[in-house]
Amino acid sequence: MIGVGKTTLTGKIAKHFGSRPYYEPVGENPVLPLFYRDPKRYGFLLQIFFLNKRFQMIKRAKRNPHNVLDRSIYEDHLFTQQNHLDGNISNQELAIYDELLANMLGELRSMPTNHSDLMVYSYADFDTVLSRIKKRGREYEQCDNDPQLQNYYYRLWQAYQKWFAEYDETPKIKIDLQTYDLANPNNVPIVLGQIDDAVSQFNV
């Protein structure tokens, strides 16, 4: 979920394993602010932009063990599906997106790799997510005076929980970033210990 603390966690996991973090292109994304202003016009373009960038990143990340992405290509469909349900993406656009995603996943699954992947699902309750979105201060993300945007966030938050429950592409672990807020340095070794345990269990 946006605002939950993925970027912070990604950096700490990568440093812990001595590997490279790969971050979602937000600051250099010219479409994202346009989407927040007019989602019906830019919904499909935004999802294609993100899909392309995630495909590039995951191919680079797969070259070495323990590289970390703050978002996965597997979850990209969740956002596209939500935009389709909200009327921002047409049936035809969704079909084009689904075909493109299937082609990309087919290529990724055929790539040689000497390790398994681990999906780390970062969780916090909805009020905590909203407070963190507000705290990081991206103007186009703020929903204090925009109930429609807040409802969109809530639908995503709900959809993520269902998505994680059904996700079975790789081993997975849920990290509670509300209980173990990474702003408290005492929580960092606890969270990294949970990651270590999962890596050891799944022989990543």
User: Helix 147-166 crosses helix 76-85 at what angle (to 10 degrees)?
Assistant: 130
Instruction: Extract the runs of DSSP E, i.e. beta strands, from the chain.
Output: 21-22, 68-69, 119-123, 172-176
What confidence tens digit (pLDDT) does each residue in 157-183 have? 999 999 999 998 889 999 999 999 999
- The amino acid at residue 3 is G
Task: Name the catalytic one among 38, 70, 196, 197.
Answer: 70
Residue-level pLDDT at 200: 86
Name the class of domain 6-202: alpha beta
Band (116; pLDDT cuts 50, 70, 90): low
User: Catalytic: 196?
Assistant: no
Report, as an integer, the average pLDDT of 110-134: 85
Report, as an integer, the average pLDDT of 84-107: 94
* Rounded distance between C-alpha atoms, residue 62 and residue 166, angstroms: 24
Lowest mean pLDDT among 67-76, 90-99, 112-121, 132-141: 112-121
Give the residues across from 173 on adjacent strands: 120
Long-range CB contacts (< 8 A, 24+ apart) of 166-169?
167/74, 167/119, 167/121, 169/74, 169/117, 169/119
Report, as an integer, the average pLDDT of 77-104: 94
Domain-by-domain residue ranges, the chain? 6-202
Give the residue numbers of the binding site for ATP: 132-136
Give the residue numbers of the binding site for substrate: 24, 36, 47, 71, 76, 141
Chain-wide mean pLDDT for the chain? 89
**More confident call, 11 vs 109:** 11
Can you tell me which residue has the tokens 């250099």?
28
- Provide the token pair at 195: 């990651």
